[in-house]
């Protein structure tokens, strides 16, 4: 049985990070809303309570009953989780006099405590809450302090329950991984055998059982998630998987043929559909970004549906949905937001059941699985690319001519990043065709041509992003190449806006 840690989510921004850290300890975990503990699941080996945007004494604070959990499993409360456990047992939690945000150092530690084993006095920890525990309930004992916060960590005597005021999951807590290892591997007794290889083995077994001889159809996009999902399904059911790769005409230069070749090299059964003419005609004259997206989204579903109907006996739709898309997130009002799917609308329209083999994985784990499956590195480390493709990077209306210009400029930029070893240091990059023309001079002639903006950002999740500080020499080289080689472009600019307030895409 796949043993697991349950993380009860009280709404903190770092809840997913706790999940990733536990997985880094080769232990499977699931994040569930704070009030949805799976009481009947025999595979649970321990429970972590996350932080929260609320204070424990707020009227709206998320509350749950912990008595049953405490009796049965090791428990670790982090930040709000620690305060909640202390507060609901008669401790006092108050707004801190001097809010201890950011870095702090542990000034005393109970070295005999199993949670604190091996952690040195002086270790840096990361605090981010305006409240502190000012008195502990009876039977709760301090196991670590900082200068400002006497109760930095505590243990409940006579049971396997702990609380830490700081955030062990964030990078800035130097001893964070050690502390989580002490909890997960030591106190909960995890076998620490969750890995890409074990995931593949168990998933392939489950897929075989679930799908039997059924046929599955899956839409490939060239991106990491759908590609890894396809290879994994292919490993389980072979030729019963048919993949459909739609070219809407807004892909990068040569992308359709290159990626098709990659897929075929991986042994996938792929149908490549060139539907670019349909998309160009439907997009003609459309300038509003949201309408462009709607037209492409609907067009994609129509083409996919049409192709899938040519296949016989298909029962399932495969999708590359990953864990962050599935976690029920808690909004501040406590309502839950439903999981979303990559290709919204398809399952309903096609009346197929969904199979999502990556729905338990974080992005970095998807990559690890891809590597373990022997997929080529360039498919695995590919930058994200928006579904509507270059359509949202051509400001204004779209014509085949504009797409061709942008494809050339984008190709020079991306190839340049690869040649200079910069591709992997950037989250995402591309060129944008601007709806302006400007004066230039080439030889003796005055020109009046288009401008291209280059955009490259660093990020970890696309929620926030900074513009990539690419070397000037590199930008100069790319700019020269674009202006010299791409007919119709006489000016190149570099976008130095961060997100927020800008977004990654221009449309
Ligand atoms: P923004 O522009 O919102 O982009 O900062 C965040 C991330 O989402 C991608 N993106 C899209 N992906 N369909 C997609 O599949 C879309 O319509 C779309 N719009 C933006 C964007 O490339 C970035 O990775």
pTM over 0.75: yes
Query: Could you report the per-residue pLDDT of 20-29, keeping only the tens digit for each?
Result: 999 999 999 9
The response to whether residue 197 sits with its C-beta less than 6 Å from ligand 1 reads no
Ligand 1 centroid vs 302 CA: distance in angstroms? 22
**Residue 470 CA: distances (Å) to CA of 318, 413, 420, 467:** 38, 12, 11, 9
Which of the listed residues 288, 321, 386 should we mutate to test ligand 1's pocket, taking the one with most ligand atoms within 8 A of CB? 386
Q: Closest Cα partner for 433 from 451, 411, 416? A: 451
Distance CA 48, CA 18 (A): 9
Q: What share of the chain is helix, strand, coil (3-state, %, to 5)?
A: 35, 25, 40
The response to whether residue 464 sits with its C-beta less than 6 Å from ligand 1 reads no
Non-local (6+) Cβ contacts of 183 within 8 A are: 46, 48, 74, 76, 115, 162
Tokens 């945007």 map to which residue? 53
Query: Could you report the per-residue pLDDT of 169-195, keeping only the tens digit for each?
Result: 998 899 999 999 999 999 999 999 999
Q: What atom of ligand 1 comes closest to residue 384's alpha carbon?
A: 24
**Residue 401 CA: distances (Å) to CA of 251, 255, 338, 405:** 14, 17, 40, 6
Q: What atom of ligand 1 comes closest to residue 427's alpha carbon?
A: 24
Question: Which residue, judged by its Cα, is nearest atom 16 of ligand 1?
Answer: 386
Q: Quote the pLDDT of residue 61.
A: 94
Query: Could you report the per-residue pLDDT of 365-380, keeping only the tens digit for each?
Result: 999 999 999 999 999 9
Q: In what order do the strands lie in the sheet with 270-274?
A: 270-274, 241-247, 215-220, 314-318, 353-355
In degrees and rounded to multiples of 5, residue 432 shows phi and psi of: -125, 135
Ligand 1 centroid vs 292 CA: distance in angstroms? 13
Mark 253-282 as b/e (b = at least 16 C-beta within 10 Å): bebbeebbebbeebebebbbbebbebbbeb
Ligand 1 centroid vs 103 CA: distance in angstroms? 33
Least confident range of 5-19, 313-327, 338-352: 338-352
Distance CA 504, CA 237 (A): 38
Cα end-to-end span (Å), the chain: 47
Q: Quote the pLDDT of residue 442.
A: 85
Q: Quote the pLDDT of residue 347.
A: 64
pLDDT above 90 for 96: no
The response to whether residue 428 sits with its C-beta less than 6 Å from ligand 1 reads yes
Q: What atom of ligand 1 comes closest to residue 293's alpha carbon?
A: 17
The response to whether residue 462 sits with its C-beta less than 6 Å from ligand 1 reads yes
How many percent of the chain have pLDDT more than 70?
95
Across residues 298-309, what is the average pLDDT?
93
CA-based radius of gyration for the chain: 26
pLDDT above 70 for 344: no
pLDDT above 60 for 336: no
Q: What atom of ligand 1 comes closest to residue 385's alpha carbon?
A: 22
Least confident range of 56-70, 304-318, 327-341: 327-341
Tell me if 23 sits within 8 A of 194, measured CB to CB: yes
Tokens 């202390």 map to which residue? 86
Q: Quote the pLDDT of residue 325.
A: 81
Q: Quote the pLDDT of residue 413.
A: 98
- If one counts every other C-beta atom within 10 angstroms of the C-beta of residue 396, the result is 13
pLDDT above 50 for 122: yes
Q: What atom of ligand 1 comes closest to residue 499's alpha carbon?
A: 5
Tell me if 295 sits within 8 A of 283, measured CB to CB: yes
- If one counts every other C-beta atom within 10 angstroms of the C-beta of residue 216, the result is 24
Confidence grade of residue 13 (pLDDT, cut at 50, 70, 90): confident
167 catalytic residue (yes or no): yes
Give the pair of three-digit tokens for residue 34.
Answer: 């704070």
Tell me if 489 sits within 8 A of 482, measured CB to CB: yes
Which of the listed residues 392, 462, 466, 467 should we mutate to test ligand 1's pocket, taking the one with most ligand atoms within 8 A of CB? 462
pLDDT above 50 for 340: no
Confidence grade of residue 444 (pLDDT, cut at 50, 70, 90): confident
The response to whether residue 384 sits with its C-beta less than 6 Å from ligand 1 reads yes
Q: Which of 3, 29, 79, 356 is catalytic?
A: 79
Q: Quote the pLDDT of residue 338.
A: 33
Least confident range of 91-100, 179-188, 196-205, 291-300: 91-100
Q: What atom of ligand 1 comes closest to residue 502's alpha carbon?
A: 5
Q: Which of 3, 100, 169, 365 is catalytic?
A: 169
174 catalytic residue (yes or no): no
Query: Could you report the per-residue pLDDT of 139-169, keeping only the tens digit for each?
Result: 999 999 999 899 999 999 999 999 999 999 9
Per-position DSSP letters for 253-284, written without gaps between them: TTHHHHHHHHHHHTT--EEEEE-HHHHHHHHT
Distance CA 503, CA 42 (A): 44
The response to whether residue 505 sits with its C-beta less than 6 Å from ligand 1 reads yes
Q: Quote the pLDDT of residue 337.
A: 34
CA atoms lying within 13 Å on the CB side of residue 80:
23
As a whole number, the mean pLDDT across the chain is: 93
Confidence grade of residue 65 (pLDDT, cut at 50, 70, 90): very high
pLDDT above 50 for 296: yes
Tokens 């509350």 map to which residue? 63
H-helix or E-strand spanning residue 314: strand 314-318
Ligand 1 centroid vs 386 CA: distance in angstroms? 5
Which of the listed residues 319, 504, 507 should we mutate to test ligand 1's pocket, taking the one with most ligand atoms within 8 A of CB? 504
The response to whether residue 382 sits with its C-beta less than 6 Å from ligand 1 reads no
Angle of helix 224-237 relative to helix 363-372, nearest 10 degrees, comes to: 50
Across residues 431-454, what is the average pLDDT?
95
The response to whether residue 386 sits with its C-beta less than 6 Å from ligand 1 reads yes
Distance CA 140, CA 134 (A): 12
CA–chain centroid gap for 136, Å, is: 38
Per-position DSSP letters for 109-140, written without gaps between them: E-TTSTTTTTPPTT-EEEEEEEEEEEEPPTTE
Least confident range of 167-181, 315-329, 487-501: 315-329
pLDDT above 60 for 293: yes
Ligand 1 centroid vs 165 CA: distance in angstroms? 36
Q: Quote the pLDDT of residue 482.
A: 98
pLDDT above 60 for 341: no
């Amino acid at each position: 049985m796949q043993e697991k840690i349950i993380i009860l989510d009280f709404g903190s921004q770092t809840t997913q990070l706790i999940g990733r850290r536990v997985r880094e300890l080769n232990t499977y975990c699931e994040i569930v809303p704070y009030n949805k503990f799976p009481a009947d699941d025999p595979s649970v080996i321990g429970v972590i309570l996350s932080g929260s945007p609320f204070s424990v004494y707020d009227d709206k604070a998320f509350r749950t009953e912990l008595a049953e959990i405490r009796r049965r499993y090791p428990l670790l409360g982090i930040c709000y989780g620690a305060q909640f456990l202390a507060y609901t047992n008669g401790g006092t939690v108050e707004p801190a006099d001097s809010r201890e945000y950011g870095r702090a150092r542990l000034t005393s530690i109970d070295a005999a405590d199993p949670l604190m084993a091996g952690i040195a006095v002086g270790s840096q920890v990361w605090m981010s809450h305006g409240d502190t525990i000012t008195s502990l309930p009876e039977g709760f004992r301090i196991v670590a302090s900082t200068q400002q916060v006497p109760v930095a960590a505590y243990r409940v005597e006579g049971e396997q329950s702990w609380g830490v005021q700081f955030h062990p999951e964030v990078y800035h807590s130097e001893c964070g991984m050690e502390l989580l290892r002490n909890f997960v591997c030591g106190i909960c007794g995890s076998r620490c055998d969750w890995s890409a290889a074990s995931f593949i083995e168990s998933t392939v077994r489950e897929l075989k059982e679930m799908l039997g001889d059924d046929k599955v159809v899956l839409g490939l996009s060239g991106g990491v998630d759908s590609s890894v999902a396809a290879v994994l399904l292919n490993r389980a059911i072979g030729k019963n998987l048919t993949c459909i790769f739609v070219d809407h005409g807004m892909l990068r230069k040569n992308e359709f043929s290159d990626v098709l070749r990659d897929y075929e090299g991986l042994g996938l059964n792929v149908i490549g559909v060139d539907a670019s003419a349909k998309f160009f005609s439907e997009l003609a004259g459309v300038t509003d970004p949201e309408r462009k997206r709607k037209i492409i989204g609907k067009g994609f579903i129509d083409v996919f549906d049409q192709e899938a109907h040519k296949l016989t006996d298909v029962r399932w739709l495969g999708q590359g949905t990953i864990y962050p898309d599935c976690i029920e997130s808690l909004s501040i009002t406590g309502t839950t937001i439903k999981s979303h799917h990559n290709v919204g609308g398809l399952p309903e329209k096609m009346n197929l059941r969904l199979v999502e083999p990556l729905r338990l994985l974080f992005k970095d784990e998807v990559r690890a699985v891809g590597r373990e499956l022997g997929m080529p590195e360039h498919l695995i480390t590919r930058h994200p690319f928006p579904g509507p493709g270059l359509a949202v990077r051509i400001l204004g209306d779209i014509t085949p001519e504009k797409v061709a210009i942008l494809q050339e400029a984008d190709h020079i930029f991306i190839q340049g990043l690869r040649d200079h070893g910069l591709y992997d240091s950037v989250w995402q990059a591309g060129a944008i065709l601007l709806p302006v023309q400007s004066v230039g001079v080439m030889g003796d002639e005055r020109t009046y041509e288009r401008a291209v903006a280059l955009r490259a950002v660093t990020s970890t999740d696309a929620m926030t992003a900074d513009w990539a500080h690419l070397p000037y020499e590199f930008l100069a080289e790319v700019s020269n190449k674009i202006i010299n080689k791409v007919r119709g472009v006489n000016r190149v600019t570099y976008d130095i806006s961060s997100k927020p307030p800008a977004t990654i895409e221009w449309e």
